[in-house]
Amino acid sequence: MMKIVFVAAVVGQLLLTKMATASDWTPELELPRVRQPMETLRISIPEDVSIDMLQTLALELDNIDVTAMVTREGNYAVFTPVQPLEWGKHELRLVEYAEDGSIFEKGFWVFEVRTQSGIREADFTANLSLVATRSVADKNLGEPEPDSLTGQGGAALQGRIAGEEWEVTGNMDLIYNSQRELTSNNQALDMGEYLITGQHQSTQLKLGHHSIAQTSLAMESFQRRGASASKSFSSMNSAVTGFILRAEEINGFEHGLGISDSENAVYGIVLENQPISNDPELLYVSATYLSGESNTVGASVGALQADQKGETWSFVADSTMLDQQLRFRAEMASSNTDIITSDTADIDLIDAKGDAIAFLTTYTPQSISVDSTFFWNTGIELSEVDTQFNSIANPNLPNDKNLQRLFFNANWSGISTQLSAAKETDNVDSDETRPEIETKHNQLLLNYSLSEMPQPGSFFDIAGLPSLSLQLGNTTQKQIKMASTNTVFITEDLNIENNLYRLGADVNKSTWSWGLAYSESDQKDNIDVTRSSITTGADIHASYQLNQRFIIAPSIITNNTEFSSDNSNFETDIISVIAQLYLTDTLSGQINLNQSSSVSDSLISLQDIETSTLSFQFSWNWIQPKNNKPGFDISINGTYQDTRDKITPANDLVAYQVYLNLTMSLPASLR
């Protein structure tokens, strides 16, 4: 009854006041049916509708009562959205509540929110940031000295436009640095990465930085600038993707699409299919073929080699069965590559052929019940990559490796464990001129954290929430087969063992926390014990919030390495205190104090250095940014460092720098 009175009070004052019966009038929604996100909705009602009738009406938008937001303009009931409506179709309904509780629909309309008749929706957002930095004071900063006034900034741009059956999205990063000599392309304003994606029904086109979703021995984590087109066929559960990508990582405006250099490009095609339509996850198959060329040296292609060209293909079969509990994945790949190295001492490879295979199986049993707190899974991974297998689109894949790995994971009431054992050998082609090295790696990780909030007044509620960790690792590396004589690959015998263990504990409360950790690792050379070493480390840290305005966080880190070669020690110690200050709602700061020392008693590298560092930063949020309105922050930051060399006092150095910054940020959007 209160709802009816409320509706009557609002609607009755807004609409016309002449008498009529409920059955002899019809409301009308003013056209057009295509509207903007904030466009006003106007409903006309005949003049002879009575006040009693108006008291029984309610207006609903997408099943939400908006009667209280209706206003009157002449002979119309007018509703203006409080916030922009979502793109797409919406329902508007005018209903009548009868005295007997019945509900009658007086009007029902479907309208669409879009930019115009051919475009369903359009959005654009930008987040801009620009920092002007002025050097206030400095000493002993070294060469070259920084400019007294510099600027840095960036912008993240995103846009979207869509119709009935098509969509185009895009994003781009812009980077600004007034010190163009520090940029990769010697440009003050340049572009980072960008991606434009167009979709029309089942066809997709991508331009810019992206990776092909399919992962294989031929291609993995290969995100480069280029172009790709894909087409899916839902009736056959299939898809085909063709692509051309730059072989090296690039950015900047000058490279455009990045595919104009045929000597630095990778061309390929990927075919995917799920042939079992009634259970697609039971079998997934894909085939990849790529051909490319690269003349870039260094990390840009992931390998220290130049003038590489060739082709690679791979075939993948992936099956998930038994209600997704059991998975099998198998892959085979082959390559044919020419590699002309930049170092004349290296051996070039011409028409080098190599194969690779990989197999993975995992078993993950489903939980017995919804309330079960125990989870586990296990798996086996096998792979073999020939010595001469190379793929330009998978530059980080190590070749000449045979891997066997077993792993097990479990989680029970806050206790989690990860256990793995792996064996890896090289020289898979049994080349007599090369040695064969066997590496074994075993690891155990245990973690515990309280899985439920403690009861008020309990031990953990008072003492804090604990988190414990244990890490054990063992790695051995042995030469199990010597190379034949008179080759450049002859190596001395190899038998090294590394052991690691680490213990950690942390306790957290709402206003304070503390933790400690201890680790020890030793490297034992079983051939020459003088090359062995032991490293121990300890870490103690804490944080305490005194009040809403002040947080202090001290820590101590120490590491010591003992070398068997000369019974020497190398020790580093770091003591630091961090203070965070929230002076007002708009003024905050941080002060860091750091005292470090490094001492070595080795006669080869005698060292005793102490360094004291003080750094600070204070920031004032002058104007808060809003949509399409810039915000400004003013900050000051600086560093003071005093270095004392007790062995060579001539190396003592005091250096400092202080900067004043003005930061402008602008979030912008258009709909």
pLDDT at site 622 = 95
The answer to whether the CB of 481 falls within 8 A of the CB of 427 is yes
The answer to whether the CB of 148 falls within 8 A of the CB of 135 is yes
Q: What is the pLDDT of residues 612-653, one digit of tens each?
A: 999 999 999 999 999 889 999 999 999 999 999 999 999 999
Q: What is residue 236's three-state secondary structure?
A: helix
Q: What is the pLDDT of residues 150-199, one digit of tens each?
A: 999 999 999 999 887 899 999 999 999 999 888 888 889 999 999 999 99
121-130, 524-533, 583-592, 608-617: the lowest-pLDDT one: 524-533
Residue 200: pLDDT band (50, 70, 90) is very high
Span 433-458, mean pLDDT?
87
Encoded tokens for 507? 């306790």
pLDDT at site 536 = 97
pLDDT at site 20 = 36
Q: What is the pLDDT of residues 42-84, one digit of tens each?
A: 888 777 776 667 778 888 998 888 888 887 777 788 888 888 8
Residues forming beta bridges with residue 211, ordered by sequence position: none
pLDDT at site 387 = 87
The better pLDDT of the pair 143, 225 is held by: 225
Encoded tokens for 178? 């007034």
Highest mean pLDDT among 210-224, 415-429, 608-622: 608-622
Q: What is residue 67's three-state secondary structure?
A: helix
User: What number of helices (H) and strands (E) belong to the chain?
Assistant: 3, 35
pLDDT at site 345 = 52
pLDDT at site 22 = 44
Span 311-316, mean pLDDT?
95
The answer to whether the CB of 409 falls within 8 A of the CB of 236 is no
Place of tokens 């244990």: 470
Whether the predicted pLDDT of 533 surpasses 90 = yes
* Ranges assigned E (strand) in 80-142: 88-97, 103-113, 121-139
* Helical residues (DSSP H) of 534-586, grouped into ranges: none
pLDDT at site 307 = 76
Give the rounded percent of residues in the chain with a pLDDT score beyond 70: 89
Q: What is the pLDDT of residues 382-398, one digit of tens each?
A: 999 998 898 989 988 88
Highest mean pLDDT among 9-18, 178-187, 590-599: 590-599
C-alpha 512/C-alpha 611 separation (Å) is 29
pLDDT at site 10 = 42
Whether the predicted pLDDT of 17 surpasses 70 = no
pLDDT at site 185 = 84
Average pLDDT of the chain to the nearest whole number: 86
Place of tokens 């270095």: 643
C-alpha 424/C-alpha 401 separation (Å) is 7
Return all residues near 292 (Cβ < 8 A) that are at least 6 apart: 247, 265, 266, 267, 268, 309, 310, 311, 392, 393
Q: What is the pLDDT of residues 460-503, one digit of tens each?
A: 888 889 999 999 999 999 988 887 765 555 456 788 999 999 99
Whether the predicted pLDDT of 284 surpasses 90 = yes
The better pLDDT of the pair 47, 107 is held by: 107
Span 338-359, mean pLDDT?
76
Span 585-609, mean pLDDT?
94
C-alpha 94/C-alpha 104 separation (Å) is 9
Encoded tokens for 126? 């930008």
pLDDT at site 11 = 43
Span 545-556, mean pLDDT?
95
Q: Find the helix or strand (DSSP H, E) in which 171 lies.
A: strand 166-177
The better pLDDT of the pair 346, 169 is held by: 169
Give the rounded percent of residues in the chain with a pLDDT score beyond 90: 52
**How many Å separate Cα 492 from the centre of its chain?**
43
pTM, full prediction: 0.77
The answer to whether the CB of 403 falls within 8 A of the CB of 422 is yes
